[in-house]
Amino acid sequence: NAGVTQTPKFRVLKTGQSMTLLCAQDMNHEYMYWYRQDPGMGLRLIHYSVGEGTTAKGEVPDGYNVSRLKKQNFLLGLESAAPSQTSVYFCANSYGALGKGGQPQHFGDGTRLSIL
């Protein structure tokens, strides 16, 4: 039971290149999230999804796009990578809304992305 799996684990890009980060879950949870974690800062929400076919913006959505075509997968895309997007990206899921009761949130182990 892998839970939440992120691929790739590491990636180096050049400025202007594009790429897609994949998040896969085997927990059948409705809600999925993409965060970025930068040194000295708390995790910040990029985009999230409340179910298959839905996406919504979080705190820092600029420069990113997402898709949730299948319930088990949540993709994060960088259209034109910039050095400011160098970060560790975490995917997470939850059974229900985090603001409605004690829903646990499960995280993947992250993708370390460097933009040169």
Closest to other proteins by CB, 61 or 63: 61
Q: Measured between alpha carbons, how far is 78 from 102 in angstroms, rounded to an integer?
A: 32
Judged by CB under 8 A, the residue of 92, 93, 113, 115 near other proteins is 92
Residue 46 binding other proteins, by CB under 8 A: no
Residue 12 binding other proteins, by CB under 8 A: no
DSSP string, 76-111: EEESS--GGG-EEEEEEEESS-TTSS---EEE---E
Cis omega before residue 8 (within 30°)?
A: yes
Which residues touch 40 (CB under 8 Å, ≥6 apart)? none
The interface region with other proteins, picked from 13-21, 68-76, 77-85, 95-103 by CB under 8 A, is 95-103
Q: Which structure tokens are listed for 99?
A: 């603001």
Least Å from the CB of residue 50 to other proteins: 7
In the complex, the residues that contact other proteins under the rule CB under 8 A are: 4, 31, 33, 40-45, 48, 50, 56, 58-59, 90, 92, 97-110
